[in-house]
Structures are given as structure tokens and as C-alpha cells.
Amino acid sequence: MKCQVIRVAEFGGPEKLVEMEYDVPSPSAGNVLVKVEATGVNPVETYIRKGNYAKLPELPYTPGTEGAGTVAEIGEGVKGLKVGDRVFLTDTLSGHGTYGQYCLSPSSEVHRLPDNSSFEIGASIGIAYRTAWRALFLKSKMKKGELVLVHGASGGVGMASLQLGKDFGARMVGTAGSPEGMEFIKSLGAEKAFNHTNREYITELNEFAPNGFGLILTMRAHSNLGKDTVLVANGGKIVIVGAQGSSTINPRRLMSKEASIQGLMTWNFTEAETKQFVDFISEKLKAER
Ligand SMILES: NC(=O)c1ccc[n+]([C@@H]2O[C@H](COP(=O)([O-])OP(=O)(O)OC[C@H]3O[C@@H](n4cnc5c(N)ncnc54)[C@H](OP(=O)(O)O)[C@@H]3O)[C@@H](O)[C@H]2O)c1
């Protein structure tokens, strides 16, 4: 059987994404063939497409790390899933991603989608919400009532962080690069929004939180890590979610505040952590109306 996919035969710009007809693959042992209904689009797909990422697939490949759909076929030994199940994916098998009508995933990355959740919602969970959860709950011990800054809150991971932090009971503050972005993050529950294109915004953040932020999630550490060391509270933590290059900081700021910097990478999720996250997010989705 044939299907339509987007394939990349050589690394480069968006013009390297080529739509073509392709044989629907068969799942080998432990893997699942999913009929894709919705696909998540994330910055990482562009880094990979350009050949500018630490882990690269063999060429040619079909992009797409996250998505949602229905189980079309299961490989030998797969337990707990059956053909027709509505599912969301936290990863795909290298080369056979969700930028196509069918994709392959290891069964450990295929999870039942609650009946009340759309495929579009399911397709947004694998990267943005999983990364936000790892940053807020696994790599930091966010406290209720704590002042949390999401430095770059209007994008995928930022909006997920605001929602999960607010739902948990933290005081969420975010930055965006436009008035529309600021309105958007306020609509998601940010107590206050700041504009990171405004030259004075670090001063404004300092005035808003004179004792600093207990936790900072930073999406552009290459340009903001130094500013984050100014904004972090005594004993606080900065979690680096995104960085596209190096950055110079004054380590004395961290010394005097006994503050710390924590890196994060979603490919470090263990199966047990993924299960913990899936249980958490499934409960939240089931409670949605
Ligand atoms: N470590 C991991 O495992 C992991 C996982 C997921 C994502 N990431 C990385 O994390 C970053 C964010 O991902 P995403 O999916 O949220 O990307 P996205 O949807 O493209 O959002 C990018 C965010 O960065 C903001 N931004 C732009 N210029 C900024 C500046 N000067 N200072 C602060 N923020 C600025 C944008 O705000 P405006 O557009 O409003 O200006 C937007 O909120 C990306 O680099 C991504 O590759 C890493």
C-alpha cells in the first residue's frame, strides 16, 4: 500500500522537504504503525533538516517527532495496544516520522489518547508539554506560590510551561516579543507579561521581583543566560530549555546567590519518566471539558 509523506533526501532549507508517494512501512518487533491524523511542528525539526543537530537521522528520512492518530498495525510482542486505538506519540522511529500519512514508533512512545481529546491536542504533547513538565517537575522542585519566570513564554514550550505552572499553583510570569504575544501569555494565566524586545525589560522584571525569581525557564540561553543570573533569586534555579550557541556569564552572581543552572534535554527521558509524564498529562486531559 502507498501513502503520501514528506521526505528529506539531503540536509538544507525548507525546499528540501519533498512530498512524495511512499510504501507504507511494516512495523518490526516492538514497533507500531500509526495512521497519522495530526502532526506537531517544532524548532528541532528545522535543526535536523539543516543537518545542524547532535543526533541526525540517516538520509533520506521522514521528519516529525510527535503526532497523534490511530494504531494501524502492531509489531510482534507489542502489548497493551490494538488496531484502531486513538494514540499520541512521544517519539517516532528514526526515518519514519509524523510528516506523512503513516509513521512508525517504538511501542514505549505510543500512548492512549483520552476520548475527549482531539488529535490536534494529542499532537502537541510529545515535545512542548513533555519538555515543560520535565523542566518544572523533574529537573526543578517548583513550589506552590513560587515566582516562576518563563523567559520566552509565547512559543510551544513556553505556553505549556505557563499552563502547567499555573495549574500547579505557582505564580507564573512570562516574556514575549510583541503586544499580541504578551496578551496571549496573559490569557494563559501569566500574572504579568514583559516584552523581551523592550530595552528596559530586565529593569522592569527586577522592579517586579526585587527578591528575584525562584525558578527561571530560559528558551534562548545563548542570548539570555547572563540576564537570568541577574534575575534569579537567592537559592533559585535557571533551567536551560533552548540554546543555539554559547554564552558568557559572571559566575560570581551564582556564587553569591548560591543559585544553580540546570540543563535539560528531552531525549534523556527514561521509559519510567515517560510513563510518569503520560499518567500525569492523561489525568489533566481527561479533566478537560
Ligand atoms: N532541551 C530540549 O529538550 C528542548 C525541547 C523543546 C524545545 N527546545 C528548544 O527550546 C526553544 C523553545 O522551543 P519552542 O518550541 O517554545 O519554540 P518556539 O515555539 O519557536 O518559541 C520560541 C520562543 O522564544 C521566544 N523568544 C524569541 N526571542 C527571544 C528573546 N530575545 N528572549 C527571550 N525569548 C525569545 C519567542 O517569543 P516571541 O516569538 O514572542 O518573540 C517564543 O516565545 C527552542 O530553541 C527549542 O529548540 C529544547
Pocket test for ligand 1, best of 183, 217, 219 (most atoms within 8 A of CB): 219
* Domain CATH number, residue 119: 3.90.180.10
Query: 171-176 and 232-240 as β-strands: parallel, antiparallel, unpaired?
Result: unpaired
* CB of 223 closer than 8 Å to CB of 240: no
Radius of gyration of the chain (CA): 20
| CATH number of the CATH domain containing 135 | 3.40.50.720
Residue 145 lies in a domain: yes
pLDDT band at 191 (very low <50, low <70, confident <90, very high): very high
- Indicate if ligand 1 lies below 6 Å from the C-beta of 243: no
Grid cell 515535545 in the structure block, residue: 127
The pLDDT assigned to 186 comes to 97
Q: Is the pLDDT assigned to residue 12 strictly greater than 80?
A: yes
- 46 with 75, same domain: the answer is yes
Same domain, residue pair 218 and 262: yes
Q: Are residues 246 and 159 in the same domain?
A: yes
Domain end call among 104, 123, 142: 123
Residue 266 beta carbon below 6 angstroms from any ligand 1 atom? yes
Residue 197 domain flag: yes
**Contact criterion met (CB below 8 Å) for 182 and 159:** no
The answer to whether residues 80 and 132 belong to one domain is no
Q: Strands (DSSP E) along 165-271, which ranges?
A: 171-176, 192-195, 213-218, 232-240, 260-263
pLDDT digit string, tens, across residues 31-54? 999 999 999 999 999 999 999 999
Q: How far apart are CA 61 and CA 49, in angstroms?
A: 10
Residue 43 lies in a domain: yes
Beta carbons within 8 Å of 20's beta carbon, 6+ residues apart:
4, 5, 6, 7
CA-265 nearest atom, ligand 1: 3
How far, in Å, is the centroid of ligand 1 from the Cα of 129? 13
In a domain, 273, yes or no: no
| Domain stops at, among 107, 123, 139 | 123
Same structural domain, 134 and 263? yes
- 128 C-alpha to center of ligand 1: Å? 10
Is the confidence at residue 159, as pLDDT, over 80? yes
The answer to whether position 275 is within a domain reads no
Give residue 289's pLDDT. 75
Q: Is the distance from the beta carbon of residue 178 to the nearest atom of ligand 1 less than 6 Å?
A: yes
How many distinct structural domains can be found in the chain? Answer: 2
Mean pLDDT of 137-144: 95
Domain assignment present for residue 284? The answer is: no
pLDDT of residue 178: 98
> Which of 70, 98, 123 is the endpoint of a domain?
123
CA 289 – CA 287 distance, rounded (Å): 7
Q: Output the pLDDT for position 288.
A: 87
SS3 (DSSP) at 61: strand
Mean pLDDT of 259-278: 97
**Ligand 1: distance of its center to the CA of 135 in Å?**
14
Say yes or no: 174 and 252 in one domain: yes
User: What Cα–Cα distance (Å) separates residue 181 from each residue in 194, 212, 214?
Assistant: 10, 23, 23
The answer, yes or no, to whether residue 141 has pLDDT greater than 90, is no
Residue 134 Cβ inside 6 Å of ligand 1? The answer reads: no
201 three-state secondary structure: helix
Question: Ligand 1 pocket, 124 CB below 6 A?
Answer: no
Using one digit for the tens of pLDDT, what is the confidence trace for 194-242? 999 999 999 999 999 999 999 999 999 999 999 999 999 999 999 999 9
Statement to judge: residues 109 and 207 lie in one domain: no
Answer for the pair 35, 108: CB distance below 8 angstroms, yes or no.
no
Q: Could you give the CA distance from residue 147 to residue 62 in angstroms, rounded to a whole number?
A: 41
Are 48 and 89 in contact by the 8 Å Cβ rule? The answer is no
CA 166 to chain centre: 17
Is the domain of 215 the same as that of 99? no
If asked whether residues 250 and 263 sit together in one domain, one would say yes
What is the rounded CA–CA span in Å between residue 66 and residue 44?
A: 11
* In a shared domain, residues 253 and 166: yes
Q: Please provide the DSSP assignment of 168-189 as one string.
A: HT-EEEEEESSHHHHHHHHHTT
Q: Which amino acid is at 101?
A: Q
The answer on pLDDT for 143 being more than 90 is yes
Same domain, 137 and 186: yes
One domain, residues 61 and 150: no
Q: Does residue 274 sit within a domain?
A: no
Q: Which of 246, 233, 268 is nearest to 135 (CA)?
A: 268
> CB burial class (10 A; 0-12, 13-18, 19+) of residue 52?
exposed
* Share of residues in the chain with pLDDT > 90 (%): 99
H or E stretch at 23:
strand 17-23
Residue 210 domain-assigned?
yes
Phi then psi for residue 260, to 5 deg, are -135, 160
Q: Calculate what percentage of the chain has a pLDDT beyond 70.
A: 100
Domain containing 110: what range?
Answer: 2-123
